């Protein structure tokens, strides 16, 4: 049975590494589903905060055209000192600014609401990957928990992402290294509590998903680049 009313308490206690939230998720009648709901809820809340913060930031800044004109003027002044044709500056600055403004959501449009979809998707993807890998590693290390319990407990790794609600304030950014390290500590507690492993084995199992991710991401990026390049020559 889903218990969303308990999510704020579970997240808060997970942030300080208390046992209670992990035990609660393990003993839930369906830990996998509860973990899915918790991860999605945190993702949507964080994504919504990013969207609102992005809109407020864009609203508080000068008009995009004014910034583009200022950049062009500065570029032309620089070009005058280097004997560079103004047309070259325009050809470089204008497309670069348009791309930056569009992808950042500064000019509005669909890119401004991207976090509302992308943040929950990324959190869910990482949770599933982390839970599956740590389950396999924990069982190999002598752990006693099952996959359902592991997925429930490891869902709490998204707890530090709740800090992204601070993004609702314009120009406020959350330290991703802090969030990542905090999430790793929570993952360690989830693995240790679920599988009753020693601290050393639980720590080793917790590190494995991060190592695999560091190895897989460059390979996926390279494969995408090769595929994109090959497709461009068709």
Tens digit of each residue's pLDDT (9 = 90 or more) over 30-77: 999 999 999 999 999 999 998 888 788 777 766 666 677 777 777 777
Between 97 and 216, whose confidence is greater? 216
Per-residue confidence (pLDDT) for residue 50, from 0 to 100 = 87
pLDDT of residue 234: 47
If asked whether residues 201 and 117 sit together in one domain, one would say: yes
State phi, psi for 2 to the nearest 5 degrees. Answer: -70, 140
| C-alpha to C-alpha distance for 161 and 123, rounded to whole angstroms | 9
**DSSP state for residue 107 in the 8-state scheme:** T
Mean pLDDT of the chain: 86
Contacts of residue 169, defined as CB under 8 A and 6 or more positions apart, other chains included, come to 53, 56
Task: Place 132 in a pLDDT band, splitting at 50, 70 and 90.
Answer: very high
One domain for residues 101 and 119: no
Does one domain contain both 115 and 71?
Answer: no
In the prediction, which pLDDT does 107 show? 56
Kindly tell me if the per-residue pLDDT of 87 is higher than 90: no
Residues 191 and 82 in one domain: no
**Do 54 and 117 fall into the same domain?**
yes
State the Cα–Cα distance between residues 33 and 227, nearest whole angstrom: 36
Residue 101 has pLDDT above 70, yes or no: no
Q: Over pLDDT 90: what percentage of the chain? A: 57
Whether the CB-CB separation of 145 and 138 falls below 8 Å is answered with: yes
Residue-number span of the structural domain to which 200 is assigned? 4-58+111-232
The reply to whether 90 and 181 lie within a common domain is: no
Which pLDDT score is estimated for 219?
79
Residues 127 and 192 grouped into a single domain:
yes
Same domain, 183 and 132: yes
Q: 36 and 133, same structural domain?
A: yes
Split into its structural domains, the chain has a count of 2
Residue with tokens 């599988």: 195
Residue with tokens 């062009």: 72
pLDDT computed for residue 233 by the predictor: 44
Does residue 120 contact residue 40 with C-beta atoms inside 8 Å?
yes
Residues 6+ apart with CB under 8 A from 188: 202, 203, 206
Predicted pLDDT of residue 103: 57
Which residues fall within 8 angstroms of residue 49, CB to CB, at 6 or more apart?
Answer: 164, 165, 166, 167, 168
Q: What is the mean pLDDT of residues 133-148?
A: 96
Residue 142 exposed, middle or buried by CB count within 10 Å (0-12, 13-18, 19+)? exposed
Based on the domain organization, do 93 and 121 belong to the same domain? no
The pLDDT value given to residue 18: 95
């Amino acid at each position: 049975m889903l218990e969303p009313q308990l999510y704020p308490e579970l997240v808060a206690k997970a942030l300080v590494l208390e046992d209670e939230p992990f035990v609660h998720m393990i003993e839930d009648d369906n830990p996998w589903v509860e973990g899915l709901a918790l991860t999605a809820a945190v993702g949507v809340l964080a994504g919504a905060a990013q969207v609102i913060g992005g809109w407020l930031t864009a609203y508080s800044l000068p008009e995009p055209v004014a910034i583009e004109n200022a950049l062009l003027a500065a570029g032309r002044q620089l070009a005058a000192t280097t004997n560079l044709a103004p047309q070259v500056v325009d050809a470089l600055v204008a497309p670069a600014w348009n791309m930056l403004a569009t992808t950042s959501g500064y000019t509005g449009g669909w890119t401004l609401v991207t976090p509302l979809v992308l943040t929950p998707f990324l959190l869910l993807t990482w949770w599933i990957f982390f839970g599956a890998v740590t389950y396999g590693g924990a069982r190999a290390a002598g752990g006693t928990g099952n996959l359902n319990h592991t997925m429930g407990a490891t869902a709490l790794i998204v707890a530090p992402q709740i800090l992204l609600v601070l993004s609702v304030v314009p120009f406020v950014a959350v330290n991703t290294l802090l969030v990542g390290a905090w999430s790793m500590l929570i993952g360690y507690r989830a693995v240790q509590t679920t599988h009753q492993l020693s601290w050393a084995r639980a720590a080793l199992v917790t590190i494995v998903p991060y190592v695999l991710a560091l190895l897989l991401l460059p390979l996926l990026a390279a494969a995408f680049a090769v595929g994109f390049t090959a497709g461009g020559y068709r």
